[in-house]
A and B are shown apart, each in its own frame.
Chain A
């Protein structure tokens, strides 16, 4: 078997060194009844590369790749063009097959990347400091709420009706088991909810998403001040990280914590994972942050280097008293994010964000021209909500038959509700002919 280097001669020689007759004898502590006598039944035997490729290739062929047809799906995962350099760099063995950088002398590559990543995330979000990433935006959001509870010593979180339902549900799952209240406001497609009215002196935090799951953009500066006056924290969630290249960042609005999804940079859609959670806070909260942190220091020769730091907050030290039970960050996904952002730089990120917005405006106008179709948003970045005269679920199925991935029905995220609404996302990967094809097909389906 190609991955197993021991030969029979090796095994015999090694068994002799351990003074054991057979490999089976090494398993003598396993109760007889639980020891299988041979390879497990019900599973195939080993396969060479050719067979594996054939098998998995056949499975892959049953999926419709988003890039092979006009695609306008968002709702928390966005199809952006990832430069070729990114995938080559992340597959360098020294990045791909390295462990967590607990031995800093032989991990300066990983550590410097994390330090740069933390800086990039701080700059993008307008916050003071960021961690080395979380599993995804939704778990980052839940951890932000848990942190706010810890900091304020309160137990009531208010979740905006513009928060992505997966993020809301991840948070409410934690609320149930960890023991706090998460008040989820009703879905707010038009962005008119009154959050200020929900904040009192028992509120630990208010969680808003900007742009919201419906694409609405708001300035939360006033809410930030109100929260501060009441001793609560403002948590801003961002699911489309590219929006940070154009919109006023949460840090400038006065956010205490930013919990975001970084998938848009460097990471393919991958049917939902692995993604990369971004977590950034104000300086005063740094010791309350969950997750890994990389810090700068000097080595014994007086040269600058990097190490994981403030680890005493983490589970392997504090055990029951840890700030969270999280062990891993998103490592390679954070590296991919970082490389992509390095390639874009200041000029590129601004230009790419503007390009996305302009294309979204272009498509919104084309769709609004289709009879019966209304754009719900007063403003948006690269994703907006469309109101249809028919079931959005049925429309999307019909579009799929015409080989167009025409957005996400809102009812997919809110079962049994708002089936007349459709979330449509546009990125730099959509051409004008894609958009025309969409508008034409939509008109057909609705007529």
Chain B
């Protein structure tokens, strides 16, 4: 079998499971609440029939005209009044960690501060209350915003063209690969069936390439954590459509050979796709076009501060070189004598088609542009510099107690592995869970796969030195504690959170993916 040995232990260590009835002893309270930490049932468990949180006017008295189709019986939703709903979501929010609460050192996620000005701008009625299919003459400001964002993205990257359509980073990758394939097909070059991907790549890279019909081949890394240029050259040939590279790479290192890499890829007649997840390290200081990149997606929710929102929405515009510019998908904004226009249909042109409904994640464009205007060229220069300085500072202050995987300098993130835990019985996962009790969200764990038990730390530029020092000191203390042999402490962590370690095995073996009305409830309701 393929030994994916990074599958980490998921069973809860038996030492951590208390005997029955211990839960009450844990909180010592009658309600199970713990001061400000309040237990909150599901909305479905708070139903009162007929209760409603909105007041609606009466409908005009007209005969129904559904065309002979029957109206439905009940939906089965619970009824709550507004105060209950507000309490419900307020209490749930209090169980979440967030950037607003503290440092989120997640590597490659770029958890920087989300400015509230962005929220205010996105909610201006002139942006928020505009329908995508209004006559173009009534939305010139929206098109101007998209055009302005496009200009910033092209200028920052040095690239010739951009599409704003993709809804997220992975969607942007898909777009880039589709454009590459279109370009080859337009030249009648159908022998190119492979995409090369470094072994350190994020899983979306091979998933995207495979989804677009390519076979994926892996390029190994050298001992210094970078793509092996010789191995790459050996694999390049007339059957290769492109290379998907992340730069800086997922180990937080700048690919020193990138110019040579780009040249080799082009010499072989292939295209150079860059995963822009780590753009925060170089934004405003280095232009991907100068590195030979043909296409790169940009995560507005990473580099440009649009909020992560608990998992989305994202936005993944893709910039293109001259070679790939004709293949940009629809829709896109054009600027003529009579103002802005929107091209929504590919017609017979080279645009490869449409990737989603309407025009892209407009709400995220507004936020990103607000961020760009706030920073300006000088602010972005400073931001990437501080991001890289912060990561190097963290690395310098931890490398004596933890094991850095590669020699510095790093870029905006630093990578450690679990060699420093060898023989302690404590795993990377355990360190992460103990960090939670210290008031931090853990760093990215077990990624990239090229080192064992990876810990990837990206502080971002919006962390103060004091914040970093507190984090560093906590990690130093935990590393020492692990080496001191206190395994039980780690395996029982976290202890202070709204919930302790959760049984993910049970969740996967017998999935319960929704609330279901109790048996008999429907019969009762029908009476």
Contacts and interface: CB of A to CB of B under 8 A. Distances in A.
Contact of A294 (B75, B360, B513): B513
A99 B95 CA distance: 13
Interface in B351-386: 352-364, 366, 369-370, 372-383, 385-386
B284 A39 contact: yes
Interface residues of A, number: 215
Interface string B506-517: 111001111100
Contacts of A139: 167, 171, 355-356
Given A39-B377, A332-B310, A342-B88, A49 B117 contact: yes
A400 to B, nearest CB: 5
Interface size class on chain B is 35 or more
A245 B75 contact: yes
Contacts, number: 733
Interface stretch (B65-73, B228-236, B265-273, B417-425): B65-73
Nearest to A172: B353
A354 interface: yes
A31 B392 contact: no
B94 interface: yes
Contacts of B44: 116, 119
A123 B76 contact: yes
B393 to A, nearest CB: 4
B128 A268 contact: yes
Interface in A25-64: 25-31, 33-36, 38-49, 51-53, 55-64
A121 B508 CA distance: 21
A132 B501 contact: no
Contact of A248 (B71, B132, B134, B393): B71
A417 to B, nearest CB: 12
Nearest to B213: A179
Interface in A371-430: 377-381, 396-397, 400, 405, 408, 412, 415, 428
B53 A83 contact: yes
Given A4-B383, A350-B75, A118 B94 contact: no
Contact of B168 (A135, A271, A305, A312): A135
B513 A77 contact: no
A84 B379 CA distance: 35
Contacts of A179: 213
Among B126, B208, B286, B366, max chain A CB count under 10 A is at B126
A11 interface: yes
Contact of A315 (B100, B170, B353): B170
B259 A33 contact: yes
Contacts of B130: 63-66, 269-271
Given A268-B129, A299-B500, A94 B53 contact: no
A369 interface: no
A218 B389 CA distance: 61
A333 B64 CA distance: 32
A95 B309 contact: yes
Nearest to B75: A123
A430 to B, nearest CB: 11
A101 B310 contact: yes
A400 B375 contact: no
B201 to A, nearest CB: 9
Contacts of A316: 202-204, 447
A294 to B, nearest CB: 7
Interface string A1-39: 111111000110111011110010111111101111011
